[in-house]
Chain A
């Protein structure tokens, strides 16, 4: 059979897969499940070697004991920062809403699963990564992923023993957020052009009075249908008035250091949304 026919057939198959993927959200789940068992053990192995090398390098710098303690304290600081941002938000919301109605919503402690990053996107265009926990550990699509005290991203694909996470600095990421102090809504978008500076885009901040200022905390908003409310995203770095004179946009510094990210926490509670009829 001439190879151009094979090529045409393969190309047609790919286009059909793209079409099906676009219309039905099919993402090769069965393939992913099978290949997970082939790749994940190797990736975990390489990751373990990398982790071991990292640890060796660390212990040269300071004592293992101090390191363990600082890790412990860091975890506590992260926990407290997370709780603090939640509580601060609670307070602002409380003041606002107390007069309106009795607030029965509480931010209960989220259930979390720790996971290691075992592979990063093979190309240079996107910022997705693969973690070593999957459906068998209770991970499902659209779960929020955090590291330390800040938002990392969201689970976009799940295999049995792996899951794909799209980080908030990815060019396709778009998170509905709000300024903690004023509760003004905005969008946080990843941008490849800003990647090297370590910043992400902040846009459509509805703040005509200019109440938000540089350094203000940005958290996920309550209107988002996938992200839990009140997770720390970062701090405003720059703000300018848009040409429409109504909204502001700028950049923000994420709370998570994406350059040195090795392990993450997956919040296994999905955000509860009202089912659409």
Chain B
């Protein structure tokens, strides 16, 4: 419950920052996608379910305030949260390289989906332009911001984990509470 509230607050703050401060800080008209960072990071750190929940919430916010087809962003972010959640157990969360690579991939999927559904279907065929002017710059900017944001979200996550339960022997080694692990779930 407390975790849910903190995560909702995190998403709300990111949404407000992204639509105000980061639009003013945009480089060459491009601003980073904070909501995608939150969705993907939570998917990584906490697994598919929380990734999906975060993604759905982020997407819904975009739909309510900026969407034209209600539900489009919700679907897209839910998918990306789910996708990154699948990689939950495949690496140590200490490592920043994997999240960055996965973030770049998520951004690519995000950019390509928006291009395909919102632009290509309205016969905007100049894919090269959109790739080099929108998708790639946003990808690079977002990955750079991930360097900072991912660490913040990770330490927030650890703080919440310490709140929730005292560290067991297993989680003291891996940095994760044992009960939440997908692998241990599978063994049971």
- A128→B66 contact, CB < 8 A: yes
- Report A1-47 residues with CB < 8 Å from chain B CB: 3-4, 6-7, 10-11, 13-18, 20-22, 26-28, 31-32, 35, 38-39, 42-43, 46-47
- Contact size range, A: 35 or more
Interfacial chain A residues near B49, Cβ < 8 Å: 3, 6
Pick the interface stretch among B11-19, B91-99, B151-159, B160-168: B11-19
User: Residues of A contacting B67 with CB < 8 Å?
Assistant: 27
Q: Check: A63 CB closer than 8 A to any chain B CB.
A: no
| Chain A residue at minimal CB-CB distance from B16 | A42
Contact of B61 among A6, A35, A193 (CB under 8 A): A35
Give the tally of cross-chain contacts (CB within 8 A): 142
Evaluate contact between B82 and A3: CB separation under 8 angstroms. yes
Whole-angstrom distance between the Cβ of A77 and the nearest chain B Cβ: 27
CA distance A16 to B69 in the complex (A): 11
Q: Closest A residue to B13 by CB, please name it.
A: A42
Which B residues touch A177, using CB under 8 A?
none
Contact status B52-A156, CB under 8 Å: no
Q: Evaluate whether A123 and B33 lie within 8 angstroms (CB atoms) in the complex, with A38-B12, A39-B12, A156-B68 already known.
A: yes
Asked if B70 is at the interface (CB within 8 A of a chain A CB), the reply is yes
CB B164 to nearest CB in A, in angstroms, measures 20
Comparing A66-74, A113-121, A144-152, the segment that makes contact with chain B is A113-121
A192 CB-CB contact with B under 8 Å: yes
Take A11-B75, A21-B69, A31-B64 as given contacts and tell me if A122 and B15 are in contact as well, using a CB distance cutoff of 8 Å.
yes
Q: Does A222 contact B (CB under 8 A)?
A: no
State which of B47, B65, B138 has its C-beta within 8 Å of the C-beta of A119: B65
- Verify B71–A14 contact, CB threshold 8 A: yes
Residue B31 at the chain A interface, CB threshold 8 Å: yes
Mark each residue of chain A from 172 to 186: 1 if its CB lies under 8 Å from any CB of chain B, else 0.
100000000000000
Give bound CA distance, A1 to B67, whole Å.
31
Check: A101 CB closer than 8 A to any chain B CB: no
- What are the 5 A-B residue pairs with the smallest beta carbon separation, nearest first? A17-B71, A14-B75, A21-B70, A119-B19, A18-B71
Q: Known pairs A27-B64, A196-B29; list 14 more (Cβ under 8 Å).
A: A6-B52, A14-B56, A17-B70, A18-B69, A27-B70, A28-B60, A35-B65, A38-B12, A39-B15, A43-B16, A47-B20, A122-B35, A123-B33, A192-B134
